[in-house]
Amino acid sequence: MSPGPGHKKGEALGALVVGGVLLGCSPILVCISELGPVATAFWRLALALIPLTVWFARRGAGGGPLPVTAGQHLTAALPGIFLAGDLAAWHTSLHMTSVTNSTLLANMAPIFVTVASWLFLRQRISGSFVAALALSIAGVVVLNGASFSVGGGSHVRGDAVAVGAACFYAGYFIFLARARQTFSTSVVMLWSTIAATICVLPIALLAERAFLPHTLAGWAVVVGLGWLVHAGGQGLIAFSLAWLPATFSSLTLLIQPVVAAGLAWIVLGEPLRMPQVIGGSIVIAGILLARRST
């Protein structure tokens, strides 16, 4: 007997949560990278092409169709164009404002995903889901609120760049969900990552002084970003979007700031204060409420 839709949705939800945990590792890795933000984004994407190409070579289209026409190639690649904008903006914001501000604002993407899905895709958004969204965002604010900066010109510019990253990430989510309606995870991940790499390369060459890591530790950081965070984390998210709506999936990824706060405590020795514990609990409560509403 083949697994039913409920079983597939359970697998997709598990993949989404694990993908969110892996993505939660990225702020620390970006901050300790030897390279500038855009060069780090380029190597994150370029190195991810190695496992993604191997995966595609072994699985092919995964039982689904391959892009043939120009429109189909664009559908599979379009998420990568938005991902390039997201990574370039978010990595840059991590060097212009605090990690707390950047992570908080860049993870406001669920707001833009929900609004765009309602305005342009005509998706019905239930009141309980809106309540869950508000609850989760409140949790993120509590989680990061103690150190959220509101003054200083550089912080304001960095915060604005992080909001721009959230807009790009919302576009990535919407077009990724659309591509997954037609193509397999391996196809969408490979096509979109190639597109993102091509888009980021000229920016990295023009904007960065150093383009190559100069130590093994530096290479280890970008390999971790490419293989674990992008190929692993984004791959699991792409897999989940065949069975879960983009609005719910983007909300679940608010777990990223919770993971980032925990890793900052474990790896960097940053204290985990009571507001962070309370905020993380509120985020998880909002995600559980959203799961019930969908």
pLDDT tens track for 24-43: 888 888 888 999 989 999 99
Q: At residue 119, does pLDDT exceed 60?
A: yes
Contact 143, 256 (CB under 8 A): no
- Full residue range of the structural domain in which residue 52 is found: 5-293
Tally of domains in the chain? 1
CA–CA distance, 261 with 281 (Å, rounded to integer): 12
Cα–Cα distance list, 291 to 109, 120, 131, 252, 253 (Å): 18, 23, 12, 9, 13
Of 65, 96, 115, residue with least CA distance to 251: 115
Which residues are within 8 A (CB) of 166 and not within 5 positions of it... i.e. 6 or more apart?
105, 106, 107, 108, 109, 111, 112
pTM score of the predicted model: 0.78
* pLDDT average, residue stretch 68-85: 95
C-beta of residue 280 within 8 angstroms of C-beta of residue 139: yes
Residue 120 is predicted with a pLDDT of: 62
Tell me the per-residue pLDDT of 187-243, one tens digit each, with 9 for 90 and over.
999 999 999 999 999 999 998 888 999 999 999 999 999 999 999 998 998 888 878
Q: 235 with 83: CB under 8 angstroms?
A: no
Confidence band, pLDDT 50/70/90 cuts, at residue 1: very low
Query: Mean pLDDT of all residues in the chain?
Result: 80
Closest CA to 37 of 96, 82, 80: 96
